[in-house]
Structure 1
Amino acid sequence: MNRKHTISALALAAAFGASGAFAEQLNVVCSNEQAWCDLMTQNFKIDTGIDVAMVRKSTGEVLAQIRAEAGNPKVDVWWGGTGDPHLIAAAEGLTQATTADVGGQLGWSLNMTEMSGGRAVGVHVGLLGIIYNTEVLAAKGLTVPACWSDLARPEYRGEVQVSNPNSSGTAYTELATLVQLFGEDEGFKLLAAIGANVNQYTKSGSAPGKAAARGETTIGIGFMHDMVKLKKDGFPVAIVAPCEGTGYEVGAVSVIAGTPNLAAATRWVEYVLSAEAQSRGLEVGVYNIPSNPASATDPDAPDMAGVKLIDYDFATYGSSATRERLLARWETDVKYAGGAIE
């Protein structure tokens, strides 16, 4: 047998398990931080023997992808990212109800499961907040932002960074939060006023916080658990829970409708809901609030009881019609308010 045929034979042998059946492989699209995506892929393989092909994308990108692939899905599971797009995918029949046991999860996780007819299961909570670089703020003689309305101050012109809600679930959560806090018209007025101070709309929701940590912008908007990691990593940052109140995400996991790998996809859902798997996130600086009450947490992680939270209306703002209408209005009323780049 020549070398080419030897390689082909080895590759074929590797694709087969001991039983003679093709080895399982799961295709997962991940909307969490890359390090968390990678660690879960590694651990799932070790614990189950199932290979995972993982790609990381923001929630808006994933929703567009699974819409385009409806009826011929290229991925089996969508893990992480804000719950609103997961609810939209569920309502559009792009995902299917899981048979995994979700009974032991916290109440907000069970609410997500019930709301979606079992098609989206809550896996973590993230609280929306503001981060600023303490050294840059002091050097520029700027006042500390304490509220959403503060971000509209003229002194912050060019000092604020936030992601684009078309691609980022984080930014859509911000948009929906301000609309719920102030009413739609007043909320958009504030978004436009803040937009006049925005220096860049990023693709990723965690990018503004990282830019603030590096001193590339003074202020960023994002989820507090990502900010906690930056602070624990030693960056000169402070975290603010806005005085008016703030919204939050319920990150979710969903099985794609029509997946040919349903058994493996179900095992993934069960795995990411387990206390053992959720606790491992601390190894890579994941400080969100996990759905399994037995999961380990960090004392510096955000606490829902310690923050003024709005009664976020997931049913309304997780609907396709509401999301598309608000995004269209954001394009006309907010996006070019300050000439920010993307």
Structure 2
Amino acid sequence: MGYKTVLKGLLPLAATVLSTGAFAGKTELTVYTAFEADQLKEYEKSFESAHPDIDIRWVRDSTGIVTAKLLAEKNNPKADVVWGLAATSLMLLKQEGMLQPYKPQGVEKLRKSFVDNAATPSWVGAEAWVASICYNTVEGEKNNVPAPASWKDLTKPVYKGHVIMPNPNSSGTGFLDVSSWIQMFGEENAWAYMDGLHQNISRYTHSGSKPCKLAASGETTIGISFAYRGAKSKKKGAPLEIITPTEGLGWDLEATAIIKGTDKLEAAQKLMDWSITREANTMYNKYYAVVGIPSVEKQVPFYPENIGKKMIDNNFEWAASNRQAILAEWQNRYDGKSDPK
């Protein structure tokens, strides 16, 4: 056999080794996420410092888009792990038989509400993101638009054209708003509320953070969003008041799960283990007030105080089971004001 024949035989092997990361002795995990984009580098660095034999390849988008992508790939999964996706989305994936049950080390330290209730859980929570209103005080004064105190205040005529919120079909924040309003007000009253709110909405965005960013920049007076984004913008000097409406706050967990069928199960389990460590929870608490291990929690700068006490008793199982019907109804009623995709 000549050297050209040997070389020809080795080339495909070399390509395979390089593409899988085996040549470098590392495992590459494809991780789907809806974590905020500005958090990914820190999360990746922290995990890879603890596990230098594993590289993360992020695939990031808004919650609804990531959820739809995972469902579309059900019969040919591309992800190994989901780290930072709504628990309601992961419950839906569990119902579809797409998650690999695994009991991570240290799970007993987490709040019970942060763990799938099966004997061997399919998902575990990282932190809670909580609904809130971002109110631009400068724009409010200029437009004679007062700060709202409640969700129902937003249906008053004074707010017409001054409110932006996320589309629940693409945004997890939008879905937790709608599903929590139904739980708080009852189905009939909630849709009546949203009919009134719709009259005052100027547009629906495809991102949960965007309404707050638009309020921070003065492009709207009020953005229905979540507390983390408001606190981040306020820290940078935006003239925002972060309002926690009196009726209560919808919320969801950003959670972690292993996709069934991954050929990198050991590495995936290491990521799931690490995602609930004290180190990881301390990292989450830099951005979010409510995390899986209560003892690490400290007040987050610019967050409303005691935000955890205003979180509703969210029925995740109900929200996950009714997700498709809720989204279809919302789409039929209100999608005409949504941003182009």
Q: TM-score, normalised by structure 1?
A: 0.88
Q: C-alpha displacement at 1:341, in angstroms?
A: 3.7
SS at match of 1:280: helix
> What residue in structure 2 maps to residue 328 of structure 1?
328
Q: CA deviation at 1:12?
A: 7.9
Distance of 1:174 and 1:47 partners within structure 2: 36
Residue deviations 1:273-326, cap 9 Å, x none?
1121232346xx62242112343533434555664332211111111xx11111
Report the AA paired with residue 332 of structure 1.
N
**Which residue pairs with 2:111 in the alignment?**
106
2:314 corresponds to 1:309: no
90, 103, 106: which one aligns with 2:94: 90
Corresponding residue to 1:261 among 222, 244, 264? 264
Aligned counterparts of 1:37 and 1:306: Cα–Cα separation in 2: 24
2:68 equivalent among 39, 44, 64: 64
Cα distance in 1, alignment partners of residues 171 and 300 from structure 2: 28
Aligned partner of 1:334: which letter?
Y
C-alpha distance 61-108 of structure 1, shift in aligned 2 (>3 A): same
CA contact (8 A) 2:34 2:62 kept: yes
Unaligned runs of 5+ in 2: none
User: What's the offset of the Cα at 1:42?
Assistant: 2.4
Secondary structure, counterpart of 1:330 in structure 2: helix
Mean Cα displacement is larger for which, 300-309 or 86-95? 300-309
CA 1:308–1:180: 2 relative to 1, 3 Å: same
Change (3 A) 1:206 1:115: farther
Aligned pair count reads 332
The 1:223/1:42 distance shift into structure 2, 3 A limit, reads same
| Counterparts of 1:13 and 1:94, CA distance in 2 | 28
Kept after mapping to 1: 8 A contact 2:30/2:56: yes
* Counterpart residue identity of residue 231, structure 1: K
Does residue 81 of structure 1 match 2:81? no
Kindly tell me: are residues 216 and 303 of structure 1, through their superposed partners in 2, closer, same or farther at Cα, counting changes over 3 Å? same
Structure 1 residue 333, shift from structure 2 partner: 2.3
Contact kept? 1:188, 1:334, Cα under 8 Å: no
Report the alpha carbon displacement of residue 73 of structure 1 after superposing the two structures with TM: 1.1
Distance 1:116 1:162, change over 3 A: farther
Match of 1:147 among 134, 142, 150: 150
- Assess if the C-alpha contact under 8 Å between 1:115 and 1:315 holds in 2: no
Aligned residue identity for 2:114? S
**Would the alpha carbon gap of residues 314 and 13 (structure 1) be closer, same or farther in structure 2, given more than 3 Å must change?**
closer
1:239 equivalent to 2:235? Answer no
Identity of aligned residues (%): 32
* Aligned mates of 1:125, 1:36 — CA distance in 2: 15
- Go from structure 1 to structure 2 and tell me whether the alpha carbon gap of 1:21 and 1:209 turns closer, same or farther (over 3 Å shift): closer
SS of residue in 2 equivalent to 1:99: coil
Structure 1: runs of 5 or more not aligned: none
**Greater alpha carbon shift after TM alignment, 137-146 vs 78-87:** 78-87
- Which of 249, 253, 258 is residue 250 of structure 1 equivalent to? 253
Instruction: Tell me if the contact between 1:83 and 1:122 (Cα under 8 Å) persists in the aligned partners.
Output: yes
**Equivalent residue number for residue 291 of structure 2:** 290
Distance in structure 2 (CA, Å) of the matches to 1:90 and 1:307: 29
Distance 2:255 2:100 in 1: 13
- Correspondence for 1:271: 274
Match of 1:38 in 2: 41
Matched, 1:209 2:198: no
Residues 240-266 of structure 1, C-alpha deviation per residue, up to 9 Å, x if partnerless?
Answer: 111122221122111111111111111
SS in structure 1 at match of 2:261: coil
Alpha-carbon spacing, 1:47–1:230, altered in 2? closer, same or farther (3 Å): same
For 2:170 and 2:17, locate their aligned partners in 1 and report how far apart those are by CA, in whole Å: 41
Q: Distance in 2 between matches of 1:302 and 1:89?
A: 33
Question: 2:125 is paired with a residue of what secondary structure?
Answer: strand
Does the CA contact (< 8 Å) of 1:131 and 1:209 recur in 2?
Answer: yes
**What letter matches 2:331 in structure 1?**
E
Offset at residue 340 of structure 1 (A): 5.1
Listed one character per residue, the Cα deviations across residues 25-45 of structure 1 (whole Å, up to 9, x for unaligned) are 100011110011222122222
What amino acid is aligned across from residue 79 of structure 2 in structure 1? V
Change (3 A) 1:184 1:116: farther
- Match of 1:95, SS state, is coil
- For the structure 1 residues 165 and 306, does the alpha-carbon distance in structure 2 shift closer, same or farther, using more than 3 Å as the test? closer
For residues 41 and 299 of structure 1, do their structure 2 counterparts lie closer, same or farther at Cα, with a shift above 3 Å needed?
closer
User: Contact 1:98 / 1:118 at 8 angstroms: preserved in 2?
Assistant: yes
